[in-house]
Amino acid sequence: MADDLQISLVPLFAVENEWDRVKNLLKAATDMSGGRYRISDLKNKLTTGEFQLWVIFDQKFEIIAAITSTCTEYPDGKFLSGQFLGGSRLEDWKDKFCDVFDQWGRDCKCKSVELTGRSGWSKVLAPNGYREMYRTYQKDLK
């Protein structure tokens, strides 16, 4: 991770204040959801606490990327699910974010991490231990 970048989970009380800074980063991802989510739907999920908002920012506190997550209960256990991502400089922060996200999953007592995205993510995520599962990216936590 580039030394000038930081990762933060945005507290629920601050999501509304940060919305204008992240909505354009996340809009492209919601636009690719096949009608499942509009950007307004995503805002609702984030401001009610159903989804969490993660940001990657530089030393000037400029947000360069935003990611959303939630914990999903399945019959065999809980998974940390990442749904929407938008931003830049992916190679500068991806590895560190995967480490932080994995730890968040463990802290939330999740069995696995799953990331939903387009097929191109397969190559990007493989070095971090993810494998493609029906175009959902999953990594077991230990």
Question: Per-residue confidence at 1, pLDDT binned at 50, 70, 90?
Answer: low
pLDDT at 127: 75
Q: Domain ranges in the chain?
A: 6-140
Check: CB of residue 136 under 8 Å from CB of residue 116.
yes
Q: pLDDT tens digit string along 96-119?
A: 988 999 999 999 999 999 877 666
Burial 86-108 (b: 16+ CB within 10 A, else e): bbeeeebbbeebbebbbebbeee
The DSSP annotation for the chain comes to --TT-EEEEEPHHHHHHHHHHHHHHHHHHHHTSTTS--HHHHHHHHHTTSSEEEEEE-TT--EEEEEEEEEEEETTEEEEEEEEEEES-HHHHHHHHHHHHHHHHHHTT-SEEEEE--TTHHHHHGGGT-EEETTEEEEE--
Return the CATH number of 6-140, one of 3.30.1330.10, 3.40.50.720, 3.40.630.30, 3.20.190.10: 3.40.630.30
User: pLDDT tens digit string along 31-49?
Assistant: 877 778 999 999 999 999 9
Closest CA to 15 of 41, 58, 56, 44: 44
- Whole-model pTM: value is 0.83
